[in-house]
């Protein structure tokens, strides 16, 4: 079969490829500039993406100037711990809202949903004041605990409840007959049946924690406890280091999430689909 | 009671860190407080000051500019990309991934790259503009005239792919029969887009508009790393202003008052949109 190439298809491809180049260029530039010398960055042509000579020296200097290893470790810890806690607590509450009858259930649920209407910045200052009063400034607790209790938790409750409502009740009833408690049913029957939903929420949470900046920037100024985005901003304010080292730091901050994205693309996509209600 | 043991951790945590914080924030907004000395009750003085504060007015104006520059263009771009990629093209998975990728990266990190792209002398943008014949391309982030546009371009680049995915999901729900019926009636591609695709995506457009608006009102990271509100406050945003007032000038009361005004604006925006939409549904 002969494939005929229609002219409108050619135009479409040209536009799509041009757009893809614009979308990808900043990433390519960041990676390649991180391998260039400052001299090439400043005297070269910005379209020239090949480092000549290629050097890992910028990475060495970035890691020497700032504890980038710690930054990465801190961010990985946050991006795993916070969503894990949020999904666990969210699923617990969601299960009660989906399957149990108790006084004030609908009212409490409505009250929680209201949190999603609230932009995080209204609570920024009182949260900071509270954390300061508790003596958590510059401690991991300040990074973790307030991060768990926000819009994302409510979003998780909302979504897990939707999901639990779609699981057939017969599954649980069989477990009750076998003598399982509410907690047992939740943990052994309902949760294992929710793996795709959990994975989607874990990815949304990982992404938002990996990228979180404003809150950690306020509560942490100890380098050893900084997450990566805050550390990167600190490297920037120390601009004497130059663009070569800065781009090495930027690349270090971007690459882990890109790798996770390429591995778990479908969960990122389902994350967007489910977040029509405004969770992010 | 078992049910309570299931919900209690979430309810207590959110009660303290969201609802408690909300009430506390309202209280702080009626005080003058620098964190060090005890808060002093000043009544409505902080709110009164908002009317006189030109920096705040500038932030509101800037935000309005960003809304106009980012929201419509973002919606159109996202919808166009979705329509273009909603077909069995070769390499469609690559294009979707490439367009979506910017939205997963942090604005801090990628903002640094854009800082270089906008570099008036060596950045790629002006290199291209010069190659196209502009002898004096804009000085972008250094210029009060162009800095806002520069930030808008960067944000547009970053968020469009996210909404493209939303639109792709919306397109899945349009039955193919509609297009087939239109084709038998001799509809042109433009007519199909105009009379089938756009109206049937209005649900998605509604959600996307609300989310984009909230996103624009909360513009912060890009400002923090790229301009710090400069030059001359021309890129200062409400959230960045709250941040500098609270955590650089230590005016907690005033910053809280700004936060409440922003909160009320966003609330009204969401409410108005819901009402407009409901009316449209009744009419249509």
- What's the token pair of residue A52? 């000549």
Task: Establish if B7 belongs to a structural domain.
Answer: no
Q: Please say if the pLDDT value at position B191 is more than 80.
A: yes
Pick the residue from chain B with its C-alpha nearest to A146. B17
Q: Tell me the per-residue pLDDT of B201-252, one tens digit each, with 9 for 90 and over.
A: 988 898 898 889 888 988 999 999 999 998 999 999 999 999 999 999 999 9
- Kindly report the CATH number assigned to the domain that includes residue B218: 1.10.3720.10
Overall number of domains in chain B: 2
Q: Is B92:B238 a contact under the CB 8 Å cutoff? A: no
B21 shares its domain with B95: no
B265 shares its domain with B167: no
Residues of chain A contacting B104 with CB distance shorter than 8 Å: 207, 257-258, 261, 268
pLDDT number for residue B23: 93
Say whether residue A18 is in contact with chain B using an 8 A CB cutoff: no
B237 shares its domain with B256: no
B122 shares its domain with B239: yes
Residue B41: enclosing H or E segment and its boundaries?
A: strand B40-41
pLDDT number for residue A280: 36
The residues near B182 (Cβ < 8 Å, ≥ 6 apart) are B191, B192, B195, B196
B83 shares its domain with B143: yes
SS3 B235: coil
Phi, psi angles (nearest 5°) of residue B31: -125, 170
Residue pLDDT tens, chain A, 280 long: 556 677 888 999 999 999 999 999 999 999 999 999 888 888 777 778 888 888 899 999 999 999 999 999 999 999 999 999 999 999 999 999 999 999 989 999 988 887 777 777 889 999 999 999 999 999 999 999 999 998 899 999 999 999 999 999 888 888 898 888 999 999 999 999 999 999 999 999 999 999 999 999 999 999 999 999 999 999 998 876 688 899 999 999 999 999 999 999 888 888 887 765 443 3
Residues of chain A contacting B97 with CB distance shorter than 8 Å: 261-262, 265
Task: Delimit the domains of chain A by residue range.
Answer: 7-59, 63-277
Interface contact flag, B252 A26, Cβ < 8 Å: no
Pick the residue from chain A with its C-alpha nearest to B121. A42
Q: What is the average pLDDT value for chain B, to the nearest integer? A: 91
Interface contact flag, A121 B263, Cβ < 8 Å: yes
B114 shares its domain with B29: no
Say whether residue A239 is in contact with chain B using an 8 A CB cutoff: no
Pick the residue from chain B with its C-alpha nearest to A49. B124
Interface contact flag, B127 A183, Cβ < 8 Å: no
Could you give the ipTM of this predicted complex?
0.91
Residues of chain A contacting B260 with CB distance shorter than 8 Å: 122
**How far is the C-alpha of A85 from the C-alpha of A186, rounded, in Å?**
16
B226 shares its domain with B266: no
Counting one residue from A and one from B, how many pairs have CB atoms under 8 Å apart?
246
Q: Is the dihedral of CA A61, A67, A71, A76 positive or negative?
A: positive
Interface contact flag, A92 B6, Cβ < 8 Å: yes
Say whether residue B264 is in contact with chain A using an 8 A CB cutoff: no
Buried b (16+ CB within 10 A) or exposed e, A28-41: ebbbbbbbbbeebb
SS3 B31: strand
**How far is the C-alpha of B12 from the C-alpha of B20, rounded, in Å?**
10
Interface contact flag, B102 A26, Cβ < 8 Å: yes
B122 shares its domain with B81: yes
- Closest CA–CA distance from residue B283 to any residue of chain A (Å): 24
Interface contact flag, B106 A210, Cβ < 8 Å: yes
Say whether residue B36 is in contact with chain A using an 8 A CB cutoff: no
Question: Whole-prediction pTM value?
Answer: 0.92
Expressed as residue numbers, the domain containing B23 is 17-52+251-284
CB < 8 Å from A in window 185-244 of B: 204, 207, 210-211, 214, 217-218, 220-221, 224-225, 239, 242-243
Task: Establish if B12 belongs to a structural domain.
Answer: no
B216 shares its domain with B274: no
B29 shares its domain with B114: no
B41 shares its domain with B113: no
Residue B32, strand partner residues: B40
Angle at A274 between CA A269 and CA A279, to 5 degrees: 110
B194 shares its domain with B66: yes
Say whether residue B179 is in contact with chain A using an 8 A CB cutoff: no
HEC profile of chain A: CCCCCCHHHHHHHHHHHHHHHHHHHHHHHHHHHCCCCHHHHHHCCCCCCCCCCCCCHHHHHHHHHCCHHHHHHHHHHHHHHHHHHHHHHHHHHHHHHHHCCCCCHHHHHHHHHHHHCCCHHHHHHHHHHHHHHCCCCCCHHHHHHHHHCCHHHHHHHHHHHHHHHCCCHHHHHHHHHCCCCHHHHHHHHHCHHHHHHHHHHHHHHHHHHHCCCHHHHHHCCCHHHCCHHHHHHHHHHCHHHHHHHHHHHHHHHHHHHHHHHHHCHHHHHHHHHHHHHCCC
Q: Tell me the per-residue pLDDT of B106-161, one tens digit each, with 9 for 90 and over.
A: 999 999 999 999 999 888 899 999 999 988 999 999 999 999 999 999 999 999 99
Pick the residue from chain A with its C-alpha nearest to B102. A23
Say whether residue A85 is in contact with chain B using an 8 A CB cutoff: no
Task: Establish if B161 belongs to a structural domain.
Answer: yes
Q: Which of B108, B201, B269 to mutate to test the interface with A (most CBs of A within 10 A)?
A: B108
pLDDT number for residue A110: 87
Interface contact flag, B116 A273, Cβ < 8 Å: no
Task: Establish if B210 belongs to a structural domain.
Answer: yes
- Closest CA–CA distance from residue A80 to any residue of chain B (Å): 17
**How far is the C-alpha of A134 from the C-alpha of A137, rounded, in Å?**
8
Task: Establish if B124 belongs to a structural domain.
Answer: yes
What fold is seen in the domain A63-277?
A: MetI-like fold (1.10.3720)
SS3 B32: strand
Say whether residue B172 is in contact with chain A using an 8 A CB cutoff: no
Q: Across the interface, which of B16, B99, B252 has its CB nearest the CB of A125?
A: B252
Interface contact flag, A125 B25, Cβ < 8 Å: yes
Confidence of residue B282 (pLDDT cuts 50, 70, 90): low
pLDDT number for residue B172: 87
């Amino acid at each position: 079969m002969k494939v005929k190439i229609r002219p409108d298809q050619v135009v479409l491809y040209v536009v799509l490829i041009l757009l893809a180049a614009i979308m990808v260029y900043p990433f390519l530039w960041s990676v390649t500039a991180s391998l260039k010398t400052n001299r090439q960055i400043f005297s070269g042509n910005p379209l020239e993406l090949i480092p000549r000579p290629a050097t890992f020296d910028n990475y060495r200097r970035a890691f020497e100037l700032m504890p980038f290893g710690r930054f990465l470790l801190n961010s990985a810890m946050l991006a795993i711990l916070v969503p894990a806690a949020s999904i666990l607590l969210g699923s617990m509450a969601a299960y009660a809202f989906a399957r149990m009858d108790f006084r004030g259930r609908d009212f409490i649920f409505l009250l929680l949903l209201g949190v999603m209407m609230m932009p995080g910045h209204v609570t920024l200052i009182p949260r900071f004041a509270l954390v300061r009063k508790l003596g958590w400034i510059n401690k991991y607790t300040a990074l973790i605990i307030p991060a768990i209790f926000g819009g994302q938790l409510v979003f998780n409750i909302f979504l897990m409840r939707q999901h639990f409502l779609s699981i057939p009740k017969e599954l649980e009833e069989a477990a009750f007959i076998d003598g399982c408690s509410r907690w047992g049913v939740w943990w052994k029957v309902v949760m294992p049946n929710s793996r795709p939903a959990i994975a989607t929420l874990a990815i949304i949470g990982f992404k938002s924690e990996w990228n979180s900046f404003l809150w950690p920037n306020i509560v942490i100024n100890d380098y050893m406890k900084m997450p990566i985005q805050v550390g990167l901003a600190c490297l920037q304010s120390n601009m004497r280091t130059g663009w070569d080292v800065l781009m090495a730091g930027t690349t270090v901050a971007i690459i882990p999430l890109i790798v996770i994205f390429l591995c778990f693309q479908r969960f990122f996509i389902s994350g967007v689909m489910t977040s029509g209600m405004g969770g992010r | 009671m078992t049910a309570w043991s299931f919900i209690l951790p979430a309810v207590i945590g959110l009660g303290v860190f969201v609802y408690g914080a909300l009430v506390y924030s309202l209280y702080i907004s009626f005080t003058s407080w620098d964190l060090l000395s005890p808060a002093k009750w000043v009544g409505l003085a902080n709110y009164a000051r908002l009317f006189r504060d030109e920096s705040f007015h500038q932030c509101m104006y800037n935000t309005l500019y960003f809304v106009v520059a980012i929201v419509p263009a973002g919606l159109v771009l996202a919808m166009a990309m979705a329509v273009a990629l909603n077909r069995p093209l070769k390499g469609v998975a690559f294009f979707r991934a490439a367009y979506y990728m910017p939205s997963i990266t942090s604005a801090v990190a990628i903002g640094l790259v854009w800082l270089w792209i906008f570099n008036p002398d060596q950045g790629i943008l002006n290199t291209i503009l010069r190659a196209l014949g502009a002898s004096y391309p804009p000085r972008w982030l250094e210029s009060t005239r162009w800095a806002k546009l520069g930030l808008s371009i960067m944000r547009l680049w970053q968020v469009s792919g996210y909404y493209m995915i939303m639109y792709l999901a919306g397109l899945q729900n349009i039955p193919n029969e509609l297009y087939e019926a239109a084709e038998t009636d001799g509809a042109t591609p433009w007519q199909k887009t105009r009379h089938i695709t756009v109206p049937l995506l209005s649900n998605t457009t509604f959600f996307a508009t609300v989310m984009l608006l909230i996103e624009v009102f909360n513009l912060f990271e890009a400002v923090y790393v790229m301009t710090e509100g400069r030059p001359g406050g021309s890129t200062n945003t409400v959230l960045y202003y709250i941040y500098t007032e609270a955590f650089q000038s230590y005016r907690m009361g005033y910053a809280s008052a700004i936060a409440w005004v922003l909160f009320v604006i966003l609330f009204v925006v969401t409410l108005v949109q819901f009402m407009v939409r409901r009316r449209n549904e009744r009419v249509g």
